[in-house]
Amino acid sequence: MSHTPEDYCRSCTDTVHLVQGKWKIHILCAIRTGPVRLGQLRRELRHASKKVLAENLRELEDAGLVLRRDLGGSVRHVEYDFTEDMRPQIHSILDHLADFGEALGSSRLNATSAVRTRS
Q: What is the pLDDT of residues 44-60, one digit of tens each?
A: 999 999 999 999 999 99
Q: How far is CA 107 from CA 68, 73, 117, in A?
A: 39, 51, 15
* 56 neighbors 27 (Cβ within 8 angstroms): yes
- Give the bridge partners for 69, in sequence order: 79
Please say if the pLDDT value at position 111 is more than 70. Answer: no
| Percent of all residues in the chain with a pLDDT value above 90, rounded to a whole number | 66
Q: What is the pLDDT of residues 59-74, one digit of tens each?
A: 999 999 999 999 887 7
* CA neighbor of 12 nearest in space, from 84, 87, 76, 93: 93
- pLDDT at residue number 104: 87
* 36 neighbors 80 (Cβ within 8 angstroms): yes
pTM for the structure as a whole: 0.80
Q: What is the pLDDT of residues 2-44, one digit of tens each?
A: 678 999 999 989 999 989 989 999 999 999 999 999 999 999 9
One-letter identity of residue 67? L
**DSSP conformational letter for 36:** B
Q: What is the pLDDT of residues 69-99, one digit of tens each?
A: 998 877 778 999 999 999 999 999 999 999 9
- Give the bridge partners for 39, in sequence order: none
